[in-house]
Structure 1
């Protein structure tokens, strides 16, 4: 096996800042098994937790040695020791928590979950309110910190693949839908496709247009419009990209041996890179690439030991820590996330009106 460093790739970012006190809201699986596991790994100080169910918060606090359990999220936001607020709450309830944190003088940075809000208009309003308050508001688009996507970005930035021609992200895996999603009219694109659309924006910039089709997922028992979805995205310069979010993935019954996976591929004028995201099977993500300028036309496959879940969440929090430390903008700005939200909104408009939608139809 060849390490990523031998090909000048940095799959995980360095921990530059780690001293600012964190308070977390939420005690579900994403917080308990991912955020807090990554923060323990990176050495970030989590000093308080609150949840909708105090007993759940107490259980998670005991698991991670968190000293303070607040009865309510409001009580936690009022805790003047907290510098960074990390929210893992349903998106219809998240904006109110963000606004309360923006009004709290002691809170310097906020890490929100994606989707930032249920509508693009609400996301734009939160962006503008954070700017007016002079506060750091960052959104947890953690696929940008997946080790294979970070490595791919580095290859693209240094021209190892030449000019990108075609890109694809293909998902066949069953997520564990949170129960609160049953109350919304949007499902797969807003909750899984948002990862892929944001990753494409991270890699290639803002798209020009998107065309989306979808059907219901026969496994999902609550009402929804976008179960299994597919999109075609065009970027300036002619790059064509596709995404597929198949949350069916085959029959669901005892004894059925599934083959869940998430894969990606980018083809350029000077090379090709392809890889997998390790989340569905608990393995590290992978990258394999072939570059006429860097590998002499040979396929190479650098490796690492870390995983998308949970290790990518360390990078996400680190960029907030560093922004608070230095007074600089975070890597994952709310302004940039609004542009991802616009891409999601364009995808739903394409689905509803059965047409290609241009991104400039959404003034930001």
Structure 2
């Protein structure tokens, strides 16, 4: 992952990589050699910041290290761009938001799956009122990646490692935030994961609608896109996106149809969004633009904590067997 960040950063004339940090200096050296970098190599973040004079830290570490990296960097005067999730626990996430406010520094999270021309077109279709007020949003995510390694041994690999992408996309598409969640995790027959690799989650959203997530990481055959398969029902029609092609909607035909059993519909194509770079590069474009313009990034920690609350709330619900209200997760924000 660090390699992806470096490749993107090296393309930006406003960026100079001042230091590389890894607890194993050999890893930092290997990355420097791969990209022809002559910057300082360090095994400690605080030393690296103080000696290099860096003003921005990119956190490509494992989730368990995100709190330490972000809090140290912001307290030393640096902004932070971080891999998801923003922290390993809700308490750490809440502390990161508090530290950002206290220091005046920013911490933005790489939610690269927001930065796709089709999902942005879908959001536009919904925001324009094409299907009216939303009642239901559904996302199906069914794939069968054979990763090997740590994911195969995780207790909740799907929800903890991947679902935050789809949860964050749901917030982005609908413009609504989570209120409560009921989740059931399970490990289907034939699974090669030690933990629960499938889940069904039902979220109540702030606009009164329901978001239903159905997912599996051990679903062989007929895979969905990595961006899921979406259906959004509104008062006037339905919008759909298969995660790969352009989204569209079908809305009730404006002709008089009051006594018709099954109404006729008109197809509405989504408007093409303004040309944007996609994925990881698009996410970085937004982060740097926010710094230049002195505003919060689209995926700033103060916003992204709501997506993280969906993950942690779903896990709590799965373990307790009860519906979980998310207000306490977001009480400090």
* Shorter-chain TM band: 0.7 to 0.9
SS at 1:324 equivalent: helix
Q: Is the 8 A contact 1:39 1:313 kept in 2?
A: no
Q: Which residue of 2 aligns with 1:275?
A: 241
Residue 94 of structure 1 pairs with residue 61 of structure 2: no
Shift of 1:242: 1.2
Q: Which residue of 2 aligns with 1:281?
A: none
What is the aligned counterpart of 1:288 among 247, 265, 268? 247
Q: Which residue of 1 aligns with 2:301?
A: 334
What is the aligned counterpart of 1:354 among 321, 327, 331? 321
Residues 93-118 of structure 1, C-alpha deviation per residue, up to 9 Å, x if partnerless?
1211112211223x2x2012222222
C-alpha distance in structure 2 between counterparts of 1:176 and 1:66, whole Å: 34
Q: Is the 8 A contact 2:113 2:279 kept in 1?
A: yes
Structure 1: 5+ residue runs without aligned partners?
1-29, 251-256, 278-284
> CA RMSD, aligned part only?
3.2
| Alpha carbons of structure 1 residues 235 and 322: separation in structure 2 relative to 1, 3 Å | same
| Alpha carbons of structure 1 residues 140 and 300: separation in structure 2 relative to 1, 3 Å | same
Q: Is the 8 A contact 1:49 1:66 kept in 2?
A: no
Q: Is the 8 A contact 1:287 1:302 kept in 2?
A: no
Structure 2: 5+ residue runs without aligned partners?
254-264
C-alpha distance in structure 2 between counterparts of 1:179 and 1:59, whole Å: 22
| Alpha carbons of structure 1 residues 162 and 174: separation in structure 2 relative to 1, 3 Å | same
Q: 1:181-330 maps to which residues of 2 (within 5 A)? A: 185-202=155-172, 203-216=174-187, 219-221=191-193, 223-224=194-195, 226-250=196-220, 259=223, 261=225, 262-277=228-243, 285-292=244-251, 297-298=266-267, 300=269, 311-330=278-297
SS at 1:117 equivalent: coil
C-alpha distance in structure 2 between counterparts of 1:361 and 1:292, whole Å: 38
Q: Is the 8 A contact 2:286 2:297 kept in 1?
A: yes
C-alpha distance in structure 1 between counterparts of 2:268 and 2:125, whole Å: 14
Normalization by structure 2: what TM-score?
Answer: 0.81
C-alpha distance in structure 2 between counterparts of 1:71 and 1:182, whole Å: 32
Say which is worse superposed, 210-219 or 130-139, in terms of deviation.
Answer: 210-219
Q: Which residue of 1 aligns with 2:311?
A: 344
SS at 1:70 equivalent: strand
Shift of 1:320: 2.3
Residue 148 of structure 1 pairs with residue 107 of structure 2: no
What is the aligned counterpart of 1:161 among 131, 138, 161? 131
Say which is worse superposed, 88-97 or 38-47, in terms of deviation.
Answer: 38-47
| Alpha carbons of structure 1 residues 344 and 163: separation in structure 2 relative to 1, 3 Å | same
Q: Is the 8 A contact 1:58 1:69 kept in 2?
A: no
Normalization by structure 1: what TM-score?
Answer: 0.74
Shift of 1:267: 2.4
Q: Is the 8 A contact 1:148 1:286 kept in 2?
A: yes
C-alpha distance in structure 2 between counterparts of 1:79 and 1:173, whole Å: 45
